[in-house]
Amino acid sequence: MQIEKCSAIKLDVLKGALLTNKNGAEFRISHFEVNLEDLKSIHVVVSEETDPDKLSYQLGNKVSLVWDSIQDWSIQFQTHSD
């Protein structure tokens, strides 16, 4: 499946998604932030997944990352019901 360039989703859809960096470390998206002094820079707040084999995952410390800095990471969307 290919995502079209002009596609858009709500940021809330990404909450809980699993991110994996180039080294294989896994993180869960907690929420998003915007610094009021730099409104063009979106930050994603993530928690390192400390035990991904458990069904109810345990999360480590939260870290804020600039969205542009994680463009080469992979993302796995999590289904949820509203």
pLDDT tens, per residue, the chain with 82 residues: 788 989 998 998 899 999 999 999 999 999 999 999 999 999 999 998 766 555 444 556 889 999 999 999 999 987 655 5
* Whole-structure pTM value: 0.76
For 6, left (φ over 0), alpha (ψ -120 to 50), or beta? Answer: alpha
Q: What share of the chain is helix, strand, coil (3-state, %, to 5)?
A: 10, 45, 45
CATH of 11-76, one of 2.30.30, 1.10.357, 2.40.50, 2.60.40: 2.30.30
How confident is the model at residue 50, as a pLDDT? 66
Give bridge partners of residue 34 from the DSSP assignment: 42
How confident is the model at residue 56, as a pLDDT? 47
> For residues 18 and 26, what is the distance between their CA atoms, to the nearest angstrom?
7
